[in-house]
Structure 1
Amino acid sequence: MSVKQYLCGPCLAEKAEIDGVVYCTECKEPLCAQCKQDHAKIKVSKHHKLCDLADVPPQEIQELLKNLIACPNHEKEEVVYLCKDHDMTCCNKCAMADHRKCEEVKVLSDILNDIKVDCTGLKIVLQDFQQQGERLLEHERNHEELVFQIENQALASLQIIKQKLLDIYAQLENVVLSSIADKKKVIGEKIKTNNDKARQFLNDIKQQSTYFEQVQNFGTNEHVVLLQRQLEKNSVSRLKSIIGDLEKGRSNSSFKCVEDTSVDSLLLEVKNSLRIEDCTCDVSETGSDTDNSPYKPYTERIPQLQYTKDLSIIPIFDKKKRPIACSCIWIDKYILIALHTVNALLVIDEASDFVLSKFICEVTPWSVSKTGPMDMVITLPHACTIAFAQLRYGNVHVITELKTRIPYYDVTRNVPLNQYICMSNSNGQIDILNNDGTLLREINISSDIKECAISIYSCCNFNAHNRVLIISNNRDTLMALTLNGEEVFEYKHEELIGPNQIAVDPCGNVYVTSYPLAIHQISPSGQCIRSLPFSNEIKSPVGICFNNTFDKIAVSGGNESGVNPYLQVYAFT
């Protein structure tokens, strides 16, 4: 311990402040050089133990030593005897008053002379207790981690069920709306045909009526009689036949929505599909109830290349411009890629080389993010705009556009809170928007996080598994932070080069692209799980996304120059 200023006790009693040079452990006070010499001359104190001031025990130890020697019954007296009959220490007063008739009352100093002080056994017992206590703490830490893992697995189960419900609803919606559209088309064509015939019939009637009125006004009675005879002979029978056909052919086809299965029963089954029950487990044992969970981190699955699409050979681009493939998303059976330089979104059917559609943007679509089963957000930072869109029958439909106060380069969605987290790479700023696009608040971030976010190709993704925002800065760093701006972890790896888009699996593991073509798999706590090697035929990965069932992963990018766009699809085995 550091030496503090200790004033000599005897001198201080004489109101003289002189620094002590030694400490008397029995008198419990510092001594100056002169008092030290006097201390050694006095008979009662010459055998007192002196120590350096640096070795003075802490105040709590001094108090402990004082309490150990103090008589429990007489505050100002020190214990002198040990009564073995009562197994207790006592001072002179106690010995005279309470222990005169006891057979074994020994003087403490005599006992110490007769026995050897050895605390080895007690120290061993205390060490055993310490080890047991540390094991208990370790057990509780491990159990806390186990509970955390079980909670995460339950959340992952909920997320998977939610995603499946959303996906099946999207499929049901597509089927129902497509069926409605087909039937409406047939019925609409029938109605249009009947309307055209009815209008033609009415025009014919109007024409005959006009002829009749004109002949009455300008002709003679003979003209009227002849016209009447002509109409009755020719037109009336024809018109009667036409009106009969119109009556027979009038529209009567319709459709109705029929529940083949009780929706309430299905919802009740979904509601009861998961439950939480109490159980007993011991993390010190091998295995646990959680080992049988189907929702395990994807640490053992190996990606196998399914196919590579060379997007540069697709004949839809301007030959003078070379498209650069950036972020990608996977919606239903389609993969969407944001293309720079040609300012377009490309929609590709995952099962073939067929490019389903191309959506032209007025400015560069910097990134595209999936925000729902069929929903997405397109960032247009050069126009200070973000566009909310849907994929319908393989085509991108913009629902609404929102003008923003600053340019947002990447947007991710906090689904539980129904909020959008928007990052401005040029400003190093992160904002949270309400579902209606209004600004909720700006996240207050440190200079380190701001430096990470300020890279022009930075990307972000909200990890709902542990409710943190993950940011990549296209250099060598991934950072995780809470929505209050507090850093959770920083991930750096010697093989992590140029990280771009981020994907998250249902267990919260983070996947990020790295140059050359490889993907880092990172645990929710920021630990490197492994680096997944991919085909080395093409370089510069940029975009990454999972399919709806998380058993396939798509990677988009280009060569070292950022051109010759490609798409690779891998399946986990």
Structure 2
Amino acid sequence: MSVKQYLCGPCLEEKGEIEGVVYCKECEEPLCAQCKQDHLRIKVSKHHKLCDRADVPSQEIQELLKSLIACPNHEKEGVVYLCKDHDVTCCNKCAMADHRKCEEVKVFADILHDITLESTGLKQVLHDLQQQGERLLEHEQKHEELVSEIESKALSSLQTIKQRLLDIYEQIKNNVLSAIADKKKIIQDKIKENTENLSQFLIDVKQQSTYFENVEQFGTNEHVVLLQRRLKKDAVSRLKSIVDELEKHKSKSSFKCIEDTSLDSLLLEIKNSLRIKNFTCDLSKTGSDTGNNHNKPYTERIPELKSGKDLTILPMFDKAKFPDPVSCTWIDKYIVIYLRPDNVLLVIEENSDFVLSKFKCHSSSWSVSRTGPTDMVISMPHAHKIAFAQLRYGNIHVLTELKTKAPYHYVTKNMSLNQYICITKDIGQIDLLNNDGTLLRDISLSLDLKECATSLHTFCSFNAYYLMLVFSQGKSDKLVALNLNGENIFEYKHPDLRSTGQLAVDPMGNMYVRSFNRKVHQISPSGQYIRSLSFKNESDYPIGICFNSTFDQIALIDYRGGNQYLRVYTFT
């Protein structure tokens, strides 16, 4: 409040400037000591509320107080009545002019007590609104922090991709330069040998030519004729034989750099390997924070049951025909279950309770793997075939079949290089095929790894994040991982591992495999035990296991009491 506003109001009207010591709330002006005494003595103002100058409200509040007491229609008149019929305040003039016929026109002073009681609830409403606003403000601040954190993680992912690209480039460069050096040495050794033989040959020819020139120069005709006879009989025939051999063994070997995978396709795959997608989260929901769950490490996420289905009671599921589910694969919004020995694929929508379709394989199949957003590959080792199929609206369509030289049991795809990894269990052979089915190279295995690959109950999975194959030996207590050069990376042993079956891999490269104690082991990419995941139905026995495309849900095929169950868990 300015200095002028602290001057006594009545004195100021008399042209006197005396500082006020109190403030009258009803008169809305300061009072000096004398005017205060007069104020308390006069009957009209003796009950006015006075307050210290320090408690004087701000100019904004004073203006608000004036506006509240002023009649909406007559600025110089104060409100006297409250018309409940029209829910408006009014002065004497308004009451006489506009509200004479209203049934409930109350004197404002008479109903102040009731209004005061009502204000308690209003204060609570305003208090609640303030708290809600503060929570929303805190939410926005946390959301801003979350967006910054996501940005940091995206930048970190870019750095990781950059480093991995640089690492793989170094590997490619070293492999190419090493192969060039090896081939170049062989070719250069051959060139050196041929060069030395040719040099000796030319010396021999030159020597015979020199003999002939000298005999012509210094000898008689008889000498020339005799030398001609000797050259034709011995030297010339010998030199012709030598030059024919040199011609036959002249250098032909060379080499060239071939792109086994289309470079443009590979670069496109790399370009699309990381993308930004819209995502909705609500940081205010304690205990079900989608945003935080999405960013939790997979080593901290807990599986919670989302849905469960008894497969044996679903339509189109014949328990007599389909006694043995082997594996499951999550493609788009569908879960594909492979049933052996009848070689049938059942397609179930993730949120439905019935089988959408049933696909009968033409030949005895062995494994099914997802190779794209809606694509899959089916191995048919007994027919020496691979079937490339696609899932369309819940139905499986075979696009083409590839005849193979070897009976491949497990076929998966290295999508980063657009190559197929094919494993033959019978002889422990692993081949890499180009996208068109031509053989790129084979992977040599040691005797121990061959024995693992040919084990009766072996199941194989490809860890695309670390470019390694992982074998689970059904009747052994270990997993074996090897790189695409056939070198052993790690062996994971645990007494709980028996009949391990299908494996699953999360985006961090952690592996999930069932254990004999009916839990699922989570194993790091280096082969270290992380933890055992317990699921709600501990009496169940997981057989197949797979992730959805966003890796926030996991499906298990369970076995219990002769019945098969499909259970879907959400990671929180």
User: Which is bigger in relative contact order (C-alpha 8 A, separation at least 6)?
Assistant: 1
